Amino acid sequence: MQIQFPSSFLWGAAISSYQCEGRNFNTDWHRWEKAKGLDRAGWACDHYRLFEKDFYLAKSLNLNSFRLSIEWARVCPVFVEFSQEALDHYSEVIDVLHQKGLKPVVTLHHFTNPTWFIDRGGWLNSKNIDYFIAYLKRVVELLKEKVEYWIIFNEPLVYIYNGFIRGIWPPGVKSVKEAKKVLDNIVQAYLIGYKEIKRIYETISIPVQISLAKHMRVFSGCPDSNFALNSLSAFLRNKYFNFWIVEYLNKKRSLDFLALNYYCKEYTRFKGLIGAECRHAKHRERKNDLGWDIHPKGFYNILLKLKKFNLPIIITENGTAETKDSLYEDYLRQHLKHLAKAILKGVDIKGYFWWSLLDNFEWDKGFKYRFGLIEVAYDSMVRRIKPFAYVYAQVCKENKIEV
Ligand code: BGC
């Protein structure tokens, strides 16, 4: 059977500034890599200089939209100063996207912060929200005529979990109490940012859609001797990690659409109330290069659960890291099939973005894991389109899929 996607469907790929641009030296991540002796992002994919070429490649794959993030530490490299060079750069980037027929979806915060912000207490201090809002206003004012879709934060709960509970990302805090403070401040910043963007667009006749990108997983209790308690942790993770923030912001009427990042299933084991990921059990699912449990049916299940919010949905990230091309292709086909089935069930899905356009810097894991439609040879910066990307290109062109 063939399933046709809606005519205005957004077919895209996503990237983030720190993972691709290169030389983002004023960020907390740059400092963290040095302090912890991790792989350095360094030049990354040199996308800051090669963006035009990358957008050309994206267009050659029949994409009609593109998700990227703005690097706050470039726009504000030092305390309360804006860089005109960086603002001009991002303005040009968005112009080039339009010239290539790629609709921009712009993220304002994708895990990284300026070092001066962190030195003043970062997200732990509610007084610092104003700095983020000043940056947001400046960027939105600059790009308002050219951007319809804004993502204020990418995966705030992943950021908080890794940076303030597990302590494996900057600032390396391990405290539930501090994590709660950061959550309150980020939610606050989102709500203020949402109102500011709406206010800025009131003066022009361009529509605006605002959201945050929410990472969701299918949680299931780890099937070991502690299954009952593991299942309780899985239940709590589903309730709080997956749904709490979406429910809260939706009640406040501050989400114009749902932006879903979906990758895999997670088996959870009981470890205090928060629980922890359990990687060692004998699970049925195929594992990708990172050991993630691949579960396309879960994508469908989550999409159906999101129906109750009665909001349009955009898949702002979906993807995998593999070593064999056939495994990327299988992942892509399976997930698109379940996406199409969800559409048939009446879920209002407006777009799909593969993570990522390019093989890039995978945070604490460095450059080893490859999510890209396009391979990057980091020594020469030469790009090569991977075979499975042509399968994606065909779907984007035909706007339909065989299921
Ligand atoms: C993040 C990306 C990351 C990807 C793969 C998402 O959670 O937004 O920055 O590279 O997952 O791990």
Asked, for residue 312, whether it belongs to a domain, the answer is yes
Average pLDDT, the chain: 97
Say if 45 falls within a structural domain: yes
pLDDT tens, 287-299? 999 999 999 999 9
Contact 110, 125 (CB under 8 A): no
Residue 228 lies inside a defined structural domain of this protein: no
Sequence-distant (6+) residues with CB within 8 A of 3 are 340, 341, 343, 344, 400, 401, 403
- Report the percent of the chain where pLDDT is more than 90: 97
Centre of ligand 1 to C-alpha 313, Å, is 19
For 111-135, what is the mean pLDDT? 98
Atom 12, ligand 1: residue with shortest CA distance: 362
CA of 204 to the centre of ligand 1 (A): 33
CB-ligand 1 contact for 196 (6 Å cutoff): no
Residue from 317, 356, 357, 368 whose mutation best tests the ligand 1 pocket (most atoms within 8 A of CB): 317
State the average pLDDT over residues 46-52. Answer: 98
Kindly report the number of other CB atoms within 10 A of residue 14's CB atom: 27
Per-residue pLDDT, averaged over 306-315, amounts to 98
Burial of 43 (C-beta count, 10 Å sphere; 0-12/13-18/19+) = middle
* CA 344 to ligand 1 centroid distance, Å: 28
Are 399 and 62 spatial neighbours (Cβ–Cβ below 8 Å)? no
Q: Choose among 384, 369, 318: nearest CA to 13.
A: 318
Distance CA 123, CA 132 (A): 10
Which residues in 93-248 belong to E strands, given as ranges?
A: 103-109, 149-154, 209-221
pLDDT at 239 exceeding the cut of 90: yes
Q: Is 285 part of a structural domain of the chain?
A: no
User: Model confidence over 155-179: pLDDT tens digits?
Assistant: 999 999 999 999 999 999 999 999 9
Within a domain: residue 289? no
Work out the pLDDT band at 279, boundaries 50, 70, 90: confident
Residue 281 has pLDDT above 80, yes or no: no
The enclosing domain of 22 has a CATH number of 3.20.20.80
CB of 107 within 6 A of ligand 1: the answer is no
* CB of residue 158 inside a 6 A radius of ligand 1: yes
Q: What is the largest CA-CA distance in the chain?
A: 60
> Is residue 146, in this structure, part of any structural domain at all?
yes
Q: Say whether pLDDT at 267 is over 80.
A: yes
Query: Does the structure show a pLDDT above 80 at 310?
Result: yes
Residues 346-365 have a mean pLDDT of: 98
Residue 154 Cβ contacting ligand 1 at under 6 Å: yes
Secondary structure class of 179 (helix, strand, coil): helix
Atom of ligand 1 nearest to the CA of 215: 7
Q: With a cut of 90, say whether residue 273 has pLDDT above it.
A: no
The response to whether residue 288 sits with its C-beta less than 6 Å from ligand 1 reads: no
Contacting residues for 325 by C-beta, under 8 A, at least 6 apart: 386, 387, 388
| Per-residue pLDDT band at 381 (split at 50, 70, 90) | very high
Residue owning tokens 């939105």: 140
Query: How many angstroms separate the CA atoms of 317 and 260, rounded?
Result: 7
Q: Does residue 129 have a pLDDT over 90?
A: yes
Domain residues for the domain of 195 are 2-217+302-402
Is residue 97 within 8 Å of 43, Cβ to Cβ?
Answer: no
Does ligand 1 come within 6 angstroms of the Cβ of 359? no
Residues 59-68, mean pLDDT to the nearest whole number: 98
DSSP type of residue 128? G
- Hey, what are 323's tokens? 């070593």
Give the count of domains, the chain: 1
Q: How far is CA 149 from the centre of its chain?
A: 14
pLDDT tens, position by position, 334-344: 999 999 999 99
Distance CA 306, CA 323 (A): 32
Q: Across residues 140-160, what is the average pLDDT?
A: 98
Mean pLDDT of 235-256: 98
Q: Is residue 15 part of a domain?
A: yes
Average pLDDT (47-71) is 99
CA distances from 151 to 3, 257, 394, 396 (A): 29, 10, 28, 23
Tell me the pLDDT band of 280, cut-offs 50, 70 and 90.
confident
* Best mutation site among 355, 356, 362, 373 for ligand 1 pocket (most ligand atoms within 8 Å of CB): 355
Q: How far apart are CA 263 and CA 294, in angstroms?
A: 7
- Tell whether the model's pLDDT for residue 284 goes beyond 90: no
Which amino acid makes up residue 2?
Q
How many helices, marked H, and strands, marked E, lie in the chain? 14, 13
- Band (pLDDT 50/70/90 cuts) for residue 19 is very high
What's the gap in Å between 15 CA and the centre of ligand 1? 9
pLDDT, residue 80, reads 87
Average of pLDDT values for 47-70?
98
How many whole angstroms separate alpha carbon 50 and alpha carbon 378? 13
| Ligand 1 contacts CB of residue 290 (under 6 A) | no
Please check the confidence at residue 10 and state whether its pLDDT lies above 80. Answer: yes
Asked whether residue 303 carries a pLDDT value surpassing 80, the answer given is: yes
| Ligand 1 lined by 355 (C-beta under 6 Å) | yes
* pLDDT given for residue 95 in this prediction: 99
Check residue 217 and give its pLDDT.
98
Q: How far is CA 357 from the centre of its chain?
A: 12
CA 261 to CA 153: how far, in whole Å?
12
Tokens 């994606």, residue?
392
User: What's the CA gap between 82 and 67, in Å, rounded?
Assistant: 23
Tell me the C-alpha distance between 338 and 12, whole Å. 17
Judged against a pLDDT cut of 80, whether residue 140 lies above it is answered with: yes
Cα–Cα distance for residue pair 144/201, rounded to 1 Å: 7
Query: Distance between CA 151 and CA 15 in Å, rounded?
Result: 13
Whether residue 373 is contained in a domain is answered as: yes
Find the mean pLDDT for residues 373-397. 98
For residue 34, is pLDDT > 90? yes
Q: Is there an atom of ligand 1 within 6 Å of 67 CB?
A: no
